[in-house]
């Protein structure tokens, strides 16, 4: 495991930002940390980065303690902070050259410019870049020293769809290279699209942890199935299998089911016994958003903001 966390707690006055977290992260893939503002996402990653001290508990990153071995760790850790102030008088290339000088070794600047698709903007000053280009530059700074772990803290917040898509491409490339990427986000579809593992946080606690597929499988929400057959259908065999009829939409019979596999088997038996042919079948399973809303839907807004103000997460 490249990251091991035991009993991690962080408190700001009366506000508890992290509540005794236990967590392990192995090398490779994209790990998403998903939760509303104030969930503790930024507090957690800043402790991992060595930028904040824990109130109690232990953290090991690449075998090092971030609190006492910060300089050594940052040689192997790439970080994009939630908020970054760029020196506007420097060009993109000068910015990357500057940050490259902070490390004992660094990648060629042109290779980073190509990776973040800013080669044609290399001689532009930072304040002339669009919001999406500036965010790609910040990610490039995090990658300049070829780190083993990359931590991206809400990198796509406030970006337009094209800029978000461009950054998604950078994150996918990191995965293809075998890099470990930790991505904090409150965009559910982003986590479902990019992440191999999703950790959901609520009020400083981990409330769910698994692959997007596994988490969706834990949802209590029903799947919806639409069936169009070439004749009159008696749905009794499917209803007997636990399927709930929801009426018709055009030519389609609509049902809800908590067991899609059993439903499909019952459908096959019904088609054979009634001599029907299937014209169309559509199935909509619960999404990661459904799981998220089940777990986060009752977060009190005032508590959320209080922790956010204290913890910066």
Could you tell me the pTM of the whole model? 0.81
What is the dihedral angle through the alpha carbons of 215, 304, 132, 113, rounded to the nearest 10 degrees?
-70
Residue 180 token pair: 């470990």
Residue 205 pairs in a beta bridge with 202
At 305 the pLDDT is 35
At 298 the pLDDT is 59
Q: Is 167 helix (H, G, I), strand (E, B) or coil?
A: helix
Backbone angles phi, psi at 7, to 5 degrees: 55, 35
Domain 223-285 part of CATH 3.40.50.1580:
no
Interval 4-12 mean pLDDT: 96
Please answer whether residues 211 and 201 qualify as being in contact, where contact means their C-beta atoms are separated by less than 8 angstroms. no
At 299 the pLDDT is 52
User: What gap in Å lies between CA 229 and CA 281, rounded to an integer?
Assistant: 9
DSSP string, 31-69: EEEE--TTSSHHHHHHHHHTSS--SEEEEEETTB-TTT-
Q: Which residue has the higher pLDDT, 183 or 132?
A: 183
CATH number of the domain at 3-76+148-217+290-311, out of 3.40.50.2300, 3.40.50.300, 3.40.1170.60, 3.20.20.190? 3.40.50.300
Per-residue pLDDT tens digits for 154-182: 898 888 888 888 889 989 999 998 999 99
Q: Which residue has the higher pLDDT, 302 or 67?
A: 67
Residue 285 CB: number of other CB atoms within 10 A?
A: 16
Residue 4 pairs in a beta bridge with 24, 60
| Residues 6 or more apart whose Cβ sits within 8 Å of residue 60 | 3, 4, 5
Q: Taking Cα atoms as reference points, which of 188, 195, 190, 202 lies closest to residue 288?
A: 188
User: What gap in Å lies between CA 304 and CA 313, rounded to an integer?
Assistant: 10
At 159 the pLDDT is 83
The chain-wide mean pLDDT, for the chain, equals 89
User: Is pLDDT of 303 > 60?
Assistant: no
| Residues 6 or more apart whose Cβ sits within 8 Å of residue 123 | 91, 92, 93
At 131 the pLDDT is 85
At 287 the pLDDT is 86
At 313 the pLDDT is 41
At 308 the pLDDT is 40
pLDDT bin (cut points 50, 70, 90) of residue 306 is very low
The DSSP output letter for 243 is P
Range(s) of the chain covered by CATH 3.40.50.300: 3-76+148-217+290-311
At 95 the pLDDT is 94
Per-residue pLDDT tens digits for 200-210: 999 999 999 99
Interval 25-37 mean pLDDT: 93
Interval 286-312 mean pLDDT: 60
Please answer whether residues 178 and 149 qualify as being in contact, where contact means their C-beta atoms are separated by less than 8 angstroms. no
Interval 63-79 mean pLDDT: 94
Per-residue pLDDT tens digits for 138-147: 999 999 999 9
Helices (H), the chain: 41-49, 70-74, 92-100, 109-115, 131-143, 161-176, 188-194, 212-217, 236-240, 260-274, 288-296, 301-311
Per-residue pLDDT tens digits for 245-270: 999 999 999 999 988 889 999 999 99
At 300 the pLDDT is 46
User: What gap in Å lies between CA 32 and CA 153, rounded to an integer?
Assistant: 10
Sheet holding 180-185, edge to edge: 77-80, 149-153, 180-185, 29-34, 197-202, 205-210
Q: What is the percentage of the chain residues whose pLDDT exceeds 70? A: 95
Range(s) of the chain covered by CATH 3.30.70.600: 223-285
Residue corresponding to tokens 């769910």: 208
| Helix, strand, coil percent values for the chain (each to nearest 5) | 40, 30, 35
């Amino acid at each position: 495991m490249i990251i091991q966390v035991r009993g991690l707690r962080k408190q700001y006055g009366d506000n508890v930002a992290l509540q005794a977290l236990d967590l392990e992260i192995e090398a490779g893939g994209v790990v998403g940390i998903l939760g509303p503002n104030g969930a503790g996402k930024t507090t957690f990653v800043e402790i991992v980065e060595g930028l904040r001290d824990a109130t109690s508990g232990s953290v090991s990153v690449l075998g090092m303690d971030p609190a006492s071995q910060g300089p050594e760790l940052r040689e192997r850790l790439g970080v994009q902070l939630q908020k970054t102030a760029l020196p506007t008088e420097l060009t993109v290339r000068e910015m990357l050259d500057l940050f490259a000088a902070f490390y004992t070794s660094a990648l060629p600047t042109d290779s980073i410019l190509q990776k973040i698709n800013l080669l044609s903007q290399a001689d532009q000053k930072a304040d002339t870049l669009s919001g999406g280009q500036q965010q790609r530059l910040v990610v490039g700074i995090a990658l300049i020293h070829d780190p083993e772990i990359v931590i991206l803290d809400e990198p796509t917040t406030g970006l337009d769809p094209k800029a978000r898509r461009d950054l998604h491409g950078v994150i996918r490339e990191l995965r293809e290279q075998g890099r470990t990427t930790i991505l904090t986000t409150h965009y559910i579809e982003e986590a479902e699209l990019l992440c191999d593992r999703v950790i959901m946080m609520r009020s400083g606690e981990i409330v769910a942890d698994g692959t997007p597929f596994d988490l969706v499988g834990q949802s209590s929400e029903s799947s919806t199935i639409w069936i169009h057959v070439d004749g009159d259908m008696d749905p009794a065999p499917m209803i007997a299998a636990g399927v709930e009829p929801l009426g018709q939409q055009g030519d389609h019979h609509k049902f809800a089911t908590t067991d899609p596999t059993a439903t499909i088997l019952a459908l096959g038996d019904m088609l054979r016994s009634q001599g029907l042919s299937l014209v169309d079948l559509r199935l909509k399973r619960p999404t990661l958003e459904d799981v998220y809303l089940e777990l986060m839907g009752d977060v009190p807004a005032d508590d959320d903001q209080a922790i956010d103000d204290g913890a910066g997460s």
